[in-house]
């Protein structure tokens, strides 16, 4: 998506509704924002086709399914090259416990967010990571003691006006 799509207040309202509940019907959204079904559906379709709506998901309560330990792992690597990045990306994508991976600026090369059952589970993930990814010169872990804020949505109206 090279061009930024201009969003009006109705588009922003649609995005905020769908982020709150992606199962909202077109009828319910249309009623909430003061449109009829067809214009509302066309707006949603345009938001999807432009890539602004990337996907529809649900949030799973990780603790409720036994994944109550969150770990943030920083990685430093010895050399940067395309072959290493390909292997690293493949390994990270194949490890379901790694739910986020970011390439960073500064002293750290990568930041991983990993969710596991407990320390033993983390150790198995760690062992697999260092086995599959050569060239790691530092792997540091920090375990989350308390989750103060987590959200997968953003208030589009507030964020665009900042």
CATH number of the domain where residue 88 is located? 3.30.70.920
Number of compact structural domains in the chain: 2
In a domain, 72, yes or no: yes
Considering the domain architecture, whether residues 107 and 71 belong to the same structural domain is answered as yes
pTM of the predicted model as reported, rounded to 2 decimal places: 0.83
pLDDT attached to residue 141: 97
In a domain, 1, yes or no: no
Q: What is the DSSP letter of 73?
A: E
In a domain, 48, yes or no: yes
In a domain, 155, yes or no: no
Domain limits for position 109 = 63-143
Helices (H) and strands (E) counted in the chain, each on its own, are 6, 4
Per the CB < 8 A criterion, the answer to whether 101 and 112 are in contact is yes
Element (H, E) at 10: helix 9-20
Considering the domain architecture, whether residues 77 and 125 belong to the same structural domain is answered as yes
pLDDT attached to residue 1: 42
pLDDT attached to residue 101: 98
Considering the domain architecture, whether residues 29 and 92 belong to the same structural domain is answered as no
Considering the domain architecture, whether residues 67 and 126 belong to the same structural domain is answered as yes
In a domain, 134, yes or no: yes
Considering the domain architecture, whether residues 104 and 136 belong to the same structural domain is answered as yes
Distances (CA, A) of 131 to 27, 88, 126, 135: 52, 11, 8, 10
Considering the domain architecture, whether residues 86 and 41 belong to the same structural domain is answered as no
Considering the domain architecture, whether residues 44 and 72 belong to the same structural domain is answered as no
Considering the domain architecture, whether residues 109 and 128 belong to the same structural domain is answered as yes
Cα angle 155-157-161, degrees, rounded to a multiple of 5: 120
Alpha carbon distance 74, 105 (integer Å): 12
Per the CB < 8 A criterion, the answer to whether 143 and 126 are in contact is no
pLDDT per residue of the chain (162 residues) written in tens, 0 to 9: 457 788 999 999 999 999 999 999 999 999 999 999 999 999 999 999 999 999 998 889 999 999 999 999 999 999 889 999 999 999 999 999 999 999 999 999 999 999 999 999 999 999 999 999 999 999 999 999 999 998 888 888 766 665
Q: Of 27, 43, 58, which one is at a domain's C-terminal end? A: 58
């Amino acid at each position: 998506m090279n061009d930024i799509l201009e969003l009006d207040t109705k588009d922003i309202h649609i995005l905020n509704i769908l982020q709150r509940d992606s199962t909202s019907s077109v009828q319910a959204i249309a009623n909430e924002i003061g449109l009829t079904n067809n214009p509302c559906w066309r707006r949603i379709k345009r938001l999807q086709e432009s890539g602004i709506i990337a996907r529809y998901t649900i949030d799973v309560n990780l603790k409720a399914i036994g994944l109550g330990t969150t770990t943030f792992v920083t990685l430093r690597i010895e050399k940067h090259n395309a072959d290493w990045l390909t292997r690293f990306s493949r390994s990270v994508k194949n490890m379901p416990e790694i739910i986020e991976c970011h390439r960073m600026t500064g002293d750290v090369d990568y930041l991983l967010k990993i969710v596991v059952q407990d320390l033993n589970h983390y150790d198995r993930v760690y062992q697999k990571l260092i086995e599959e990814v050569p060239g790691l010169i530092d792997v540091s872990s920090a375990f989350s003691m308390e989750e103060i804020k987590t959200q997968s949505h953003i208030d589009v109206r507030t964020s665009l006006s900042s």
